[in-house]
Amino acid sequence: MQAKTLMIQGTASSVGKSVLVTALCRIFRQDGFSVAPFKAQNMALNSFITREGGEMGRAQVVQAEAAGIEPSVDMNPVLLKPEADARSQVIVHGKVIRTISAQRYYHLTRYLLKMVEDSLDRLRSTYDIVVIEGAGSPAEINLTKREIVNMRIAKMAHAPVLLVGDIDKGGVFASLVGTLDLLEEDERNYIKGFIINKFRGDISLLRPGLELLEKRTAKPVFGVVPYFRGIAIAQEDSVYLEQGIDSTPSSDLDIAIIHLPHISNYDDFDPLEEEGCRVHYVAHPSELGTPDFIILPGTKSTISDLTYLWRSGLAESILQQARNGTPVVGICGGYQMLGRSLHDPDGVESAEESVLGLGLLDVVTTFIPEKATTQVKARVVADRGLLEGMKGQELVGYEIHMGRTKCDGDTSAFNIFETPQGRVDYFDGTLNEKGKVLGTYMHGLFHNSVFRGTLLNSLRRDHGLAERHGSTVIEKAKHYDKLAELVRHSLDISTIYRIVEEGINE
C-alpha cells in the first residue's frame, strides 16, 4: 500500500514551508506514524552528505531528523547549487551530473521528472506518510510548463495541499488570494486550505480577516502559527543572515563570519550562536570591527568569491586582523582562499586559470572535476595555538569539495581515519606555524562539542574572559519537540489528518 501524502506550498520563498514540514514530520512521528519528507527539486547552497556519500539539501536532512529517520537522497532527488555566471551545478540522486545555465536546465525536465517520480515511489512504498515541500510559489505563471516541484508534484503524488502565507512580511491576504486566483481550476482543487505563518500580536484582531478570506475563497484557514524565537532549526536560505542574528546579553566572544556572495553550509556555525558568542555576518569592511575570531565559510564559487574579497576591501581587512594576531579559520572554500594561490586549469569553477589567495597558509589548491563527498571521522594531530591541548581528540564531520589542496611541510591539522566505507588514512587541513590560522575541508567542525568548548575557552583565556564549562547547546530532539508542540497547538491537526486520509479524488 502506498503512503498517504500531504504537501506544503507557499505564496513565496521564505514563508516558512521548510519549518512547517519539519514540524509536521515530528508531529506525525510522535503520533506513531512512519513519515518521510520529500522535496523534488531544491535550490540551496546548504547541503549535506549522506552515509552513502550522496549530496542533498540540508532542509530535508533536518526534516528527516525530525521524523526520526536516516536522510536519503530520495528525499531530495534534484539539488541545484547556484554558481557564479548564472550557472548551477545539477545534482541528481546525490551525484553531480553537470553544471548548466538556467535555459539549458529546462531541457532536462523530462529526465528529471522520471528521477523525481522514482524517488517518490520508493518513499511511498516504505513509509506511512510522505510530507512534501514545494518551492517558491506555485503561481510563477512563466514557469508553469517547466516546473517540477509544485503543482506538477502534487498531481504526481495525489497530494492535498496546504498553502502557507507569511503575515510578518505584510500583504498576506492578497498573497493567498492572488496565488489561488493564478492557479488553474484543477490546481485550485488541490488547495485544501491556508496556514498563516509568523504572526505577532493579538489574534482576535486577525479574525475578521480570516473570516473574509474563508468567505472569499470558500477554503478554510487551518491555523495561525506565531512568530517564534528560541527554537533552533537549521535554515535552508541565507535570507535570515541578512536579517541579522540576535545576540544574548551574556555574549562574550565576538565572532565575525565573512558573508560571501555564494556562502554555503552556514549551519556549520549554528552551535557558536548557542554557546554565548556574538556571531555576526560581515559583507563590508566597515562591518568587521575588531572581532576575537574570524571565519571564512564554505562557498560554491571559491574563485568568484575570492575576487569579491579583494575588490570589496574585505581581503585587506582580514589580512590586517591576522597581522594583529586575530585567529582566522577557513572551512572548505574558505580554506582554499587562505592559501597562496588557486588554480583551475580545466575551468571547473571559473574562466580564471589562476588567482592569488590571501597567503595566510602555505598551501596551493587545484580544482578537478571529481567531487569529494563523504562523511568522515578524524583525529586532531596538531598541538599548538588554536589546537593546543587537543591532540588525539576525535571529531566527526563531512567533506564536499572539488579542489585538492597541497601543503608544504608538516603543518597538517587533522588525520582522517574512517569513512562509512571503511578505514582510511589521509591528512586534512593546515595550521600555520603560530597556530593562529587554521584551514580544513571538514564541515561540521563546530558541531563537535568538546572541540568547540576547548577552542572557545582558549580564545576566552587569550582575552581575559571567564571560561565556560558545560555546553549550552540544546539537543536537536528537544528543539524538534518544542516546534511540534507550538505547531500542534496552532493548527487544526485533526482536520489535517482527515484531509491526509481522504487524499485527492480525481
DSSP-derived 3-state class of residue 298 = strand
Amino acid code (one letter) for 216: R
For residue 200, is pLDDT > 90?
yes
Q: Are residues 429 and 489 in the same domain?
A: no
The angle subtended at Cα 403 by Cα 399 and Cα 405, nearest 5°, is 95
46: in domain: yes
Mean pLDDT of the chain: 92
Maximal C-alpha separation, the chain:
73
Q: pLDDT tens for residues 221-272?
A: 999 999 998 887 876 655 555 554 445 545 789 999 999 999 999 899 989 9
- Is residue 473 in some structural domain? no
DSSP states of 201-264 as a string?
S-GGGTHHHHHHHHHHHS--EEEEEEP--S-----SSTHHHHT-----TT--SEEEEE--TTEE
pLDDT band at residue 377 under the 50/70/90 scheme: very high
137 and 48 co-located in one domain:
yes
**One domain for residues 444 and 339:** yes
DSSP-based helix, strand, coil % in the chain, nearest 5: 35, 30, 35
* Alpha-carbon distances, residue 212 vs 174, 218, 219 (angstroms): 12, 10, 11
272 and 225 inside one domain? no
Phi-psi region for residue 100, left (φ > 0), alpha (ψ -120 to 50) or beta? beta
Q: What percent of the chain has pLDDT over 90?
A: 80
Per-residue confidence (pLDDT) for residue 236, from 0 to 100: 61
Regarding whether 496 and 451 lie in a shared domain, the answer is no
The reply to whether 238 falls in a domain is no
Q: Report the domain count for the chain.
A: 2
Question: Which is more confident, 296 or 406?
Answer: 296
What are the cell numbers at 172? 498576506
**Phi/psi at 266 (5° precision):** -75, -10
Task: Go through 119-141 and write b for each residue having 16 or more CB atoms within 10 A of its CB, e for each that does not.
Answer: bbeebbeebbbbbbbbbbbbbee
For 309-338, the pLDDT digits (tens) are 999 999 999 999 999 999 999 999 999 999
Say what the pLDDT of residue 286 is: 95
CA dist., res. 203 & res. 256, Å (int): 38
Crossing angle between the packed helical segments 17-30 and 58-67, to the nearest 10 degrees: 20
What CATH number has the domain bearing residue 330?
3.40.50.880
Coil/strand/helix, residue 34: coil
Identify whether residues 317 and 422 lie together within a single domain.
yes
* Contact present, 396 and 444 (Cβ < 8 Å): yes
Question: 458: alpha, beta or left, given left = phi > 0 and alpha = psi -120 to 50?
Answer: alpha
417 φ/ψ angles, rounded to the nearest 5 degrees: -115, -5
Rounded Cα gap, residues 358 and 505, in angstroms? 61
Show the cell assigned to 429: 587541513
Given a contact cutoff of 8 angstroms between Cβ atoms, the answer to whether 7 and 161 are in contact is: yes
CATH number at residue 43: 3.40.50.300
Identity (one letter) of the amino acid at 217?
T
Q: How large is the average pLDDT for residues 85-99?
A: 90
Contacts of 241 (CB under 8 A, 6+ apart): 259, 263, 266, 281
What pLDDT was estimated at residue 352?
A: 84
Question: 211 lies in a domain?
Answer: yes
Exposure string of 236-254, with b = 16+ CB inside 10 Å and e = fewer, is bebeebeeeeeeeeeebbb
In this structure, is the dihedral angle defined by the CA atoms of residues 338, 341, 346 and 351, taken in order, positive or negative?
positive
pLDDT band at 84 (very low <50, low <70, confident <90, very high): confident
**Residue 469 placed within a domain:** no
What residues contact 464, with CB distance under 8 A and at least 6 apart? Answer: none
Task: State the pLDDT at residue 351.
Answer: 79
Pairing of strands 293-296, 254-258: parallel
What share of the chain in percent tops pLDDT 70?
95
Range of the domain at 207: 4-231+478-502
**The predicted structure's pLDDT at residue 237:** 58
Q: How sure is the predictor about 140, in pLDDT bands with cuts at 50, 70 and 90?
A: very high
Residues 174 and 224 in one domain: yes
**CA neighbor of 304 nearest in space, from 85, 100, 81, 80:** 85
Cβ partners under 8 Å of residue 216, min gap 6: 177
Residue 237 covered by a domain: no
Catalytic residue chosen out of the listed positions 93, 401, 443, 479: 443
| Distance in angstroms (rounded) separating the CA atoms of residues 21 and 351 | 40
Measured distance CA(288)–CA(257) in Å, rounded? 9
The separation between CA 394 and the C-alpha centre of its own chain, rounded to angstroms, equals: 25
Mean pLDDT of 288-311: 95
Residue 256 pairs with which residues in a beta bridge? 280, 294
Question: What is the DSSP code string of 373-421?
Answer: EEEEEEEE---SGGGTT-TT-EEEEEEEEEEEEEESSS-EEEEEEEETT
Question: Is 240 contained in some domain?
Answer: no
Q: Are residues 206 and 259 both part of a single domain?
A: no
pLDDT at 471 over 70: no
141 or 486: whose pLDDT is higher? 486
Which residues share a beta bridge with 399? 374
Reduced to 3 states (helix: H, G, I; strand: E, B; else coil), residue 151 is helix
Do 330 and 445 share a structural domain? yes
Of the candidates 249, 181, 269, 257, which has an alpha carbon nearest to the alpha carbon of residue 219? 181
Q: Encode pLDDT of 486-501 as tens digits.
A: 999 999 999 999 999 9
Q: How many whole angstroms separate alpha carbon 230 and alpha carbon 482?
A: 9
What is the rounded CA–CA span in Å between residue 92 and residue 116?
A: 9
Q: What is the DSSP letter of 445?
A: G
For residue range 388-429, list pLDDT tens digits in order: 999 999 999 999 998 899 876 689 999 999 999 999 999 999
Residue 25 annotated as catalytic: no
Asked if residue 112 and residue 60 are part of one domain, the reply reads yes
Whether residues 225 and 302 fall in one domain: no
Point out the catalytic residue in the list 259, 332, 401, 407.
Answer: 332
Residue count (the chain) = 506
* pLDDT, tens only, 113-131: 999 999 999 999 999 999 9
Same domain, 250 and 225: no
Contact 405, 335 (CB under 8 A): yes
* 408 belongs to a structural domain: yes
